[in-house]
Amino acid sequence: MNDYKLCQRCIMDTTSDPHLILDDDGVCNYCHAYDKSVEEHGYKGKESEQELEALFDKIKEKGKGKEYDCLLGISGGVDSSYLAYLAKQYDLRVLAVHVDAGWNSELAVQNIKNMCQKLGYDLHTVVVDWPTMKELQRAYMFSGLANLDVPQDHCFIAACAKMAKKFGIKYILNGNNWATEGILSTAYQHSARDWRNIKGVYKRCGRAKGNLSKYPHQNFIEMYLWDPVFHHVKFVFPLNYINYSKKMAIATLEKEFDWKYYGGKHYESRFTKFFQEIYLPKKFGWDKRRDHISSLIVGGEMTREEGLKEIAIMPSTEAELEEEKEYVLKKLDITDEEWNYIMEMPVKSEDEYPNDKKWVAFCMKIKNMFCKKR
C-alpha cells in the first residue's frame, strides 16, 4: 500500500481502517477517541467504585420481591465470565442467560456450566433454531458485508432482553468495557442492533423462502422505545467502574473456577474464530487482533513493542485455518466454488441494504442528552 500509515501510540493502521487519520505526532484518531471516552466514562478510582456500589444497590432495590435482581448475558468469554464473578462479590441474585447459536466451542460450554454451578447461578440457555440461524448466516456470507457476526450478536442481545421481560428483570449486566475494548475500527462495522438491515440481507442474499420468526430479534421500536421506556429494561456495563484488566481477569478466573482461555478474543464461538481469522483478513485485509491489541496498549496493559511482536505471530497455522474453513463451509452448505465467489465478490456497505441508521443516530442523540453510558 503506497500510503500505508501506522499509529505511533497503538498499532492501528490503514489495513484496520483505510481512512485512519494521524496527527502531527503520528497518533491516530482512535487513540484520541479512546482518551476522550475514558475521560468521560472510564475508571476513576474510588469515585467509580462508589458509583458501582450505588448502581448495584439500585439493582438490588429493583429486584426486591422478585426471583432475580438482574440478568447476565454470558458467552463464556473473559469479560462476561469475570462479570459473573464480580456480581457474586456484591451478592447480586443473577439469572445467567447463554445463547447457543450453534457454534459454541466445547470449552465455552464447559466454562459456562462450571462457573454458574460454582457461583450458584441459575443458567438458562436459549437455543436458536439452527435451520433458521444457518440460512441467515449463509445469507450474510453472500452479502459482501464485513460484519458477519451480526446474526450471532443480534440474537444474543434480543434473547437477553426477552428473558429479562419474562422474569420482570430491569437490569441486564453486559461485559463490554473501555479497558479491553476501547479501540474498535468503525470502517467496516455496522451495528448488530439493526433489525431492518438483518431482514434486508436475509431477503436479498438468502436462499430460504421462510421468515425469521424463529430467530430471537428485536425491532427498532422494541429496542429503543418499548423495552427501555415502557418495560424499563436497561443494559449496564459494570466493568467500566472497576480497575479492569484482561490479565487480572484471566488469572482470577483460572484460579477460582478452573476456567480455560480460548487463545483469542471471542474465540468461544467457532464461527467468530473463522470470521476473525479467515474472512476478515483474507477479504478485507483487516486483522481484528489489531483492535484488541491496540485497546490493551492504550489501556496500559501491554507495551506497543509487545503488541507489535504479538501481531506478527499468526495464532493458527495455514493447515489449521484450512481445517477451520472446511468445518464452517460444510456446516453452512457452502461449496468451494461458492467460497471463491464470496471472496471475489465486491465489498458492500450496509447502506446498500435497507437499514435504520438515520433513526438510530437520531435516537442515540436524544439518549445521550439524558443518559451517561458506562
Q: Rounded to 5 degrees, what angle do the CA atoms 114, 115, 121 make?
A: 110
Cα–Cα distance, 348 to 22 (Å, whole number)? 26
Q: How far is the CB of 33 from Zn ion (least distance, A)?
A: 9
Cα–Cα distance, 308 to 319 (Å, whole number)? 24
Q: How far is the CB of 335 from Zn ion (least distance, A)?
A: 40
Cα–Cα distance, 270 to 60 (Å, whole number)? 36
> Which residue's CB atom is positioned nearest to Zn ion?
7
Chain Cα centroid distance, residue 231 = 24
Report the interface residues with Zn ion, using CB under 5 A.
7, 9-10, 12, 28, 31
Q: Which is nearer to Zn ion, 7 or 157 (CB)?
A: 7
Q: Which is nearer to Zn ion, 178 or 353 (CB)?
A: 178
Cα–Cα distance, 289 to 60 (Å, whole number)? 37
Q: How far is the CB of 30 from Zn ion (least distance, A)?
A: 5
Q: Which is nearer to Zn ion, 26 or 210 (CB)?
A: 26
Cα–Cα distance, 145 to 322 (Å, whole number)? 22
Q: Which is nearer to Zn ion, 10 or 71 (CB)?
A: 10
Nearest to 126 by CA among 78, 178, 166: 166
CB 176 within 8 A of CB 113: no
Q: How far is the CB of 304 from Zn ion (least distance, A)?
A: 9
Q: How far is the CB of 16 from Zn ion (least distance, A)?
A: 10
Q: Which ranges constitute the DSSP H helices of 27-105?
A: 29-41, 46-63, 78-89
Q: Cβ contacts of residue 199 below 8 Å, gap of 6+? A: 212, 354
Q: Which is nearer to Zn ion, 13 or 149 (CB)?
A: 13
Q: How far is the CB of 31 from Zn ion (least distance, A)?
A: 3
Sheet holding 234-236, edge to edge: 122-127, 94-100, 70-73, 171-173, 234-236
Containing 236, the helix (H) or strand (E) segment is: strand 234-236
Q: Which is nearer to Zn ion, 311 or 364 (CB)?
A: 311
Q: Which is nearer to Zn ion, 31 or 253 (CB)?
A: 31
Location of C-alpha cell 467500566: 240
Q: How far is the CB of 180 from Zn ion (least distance, A)?
A: 16
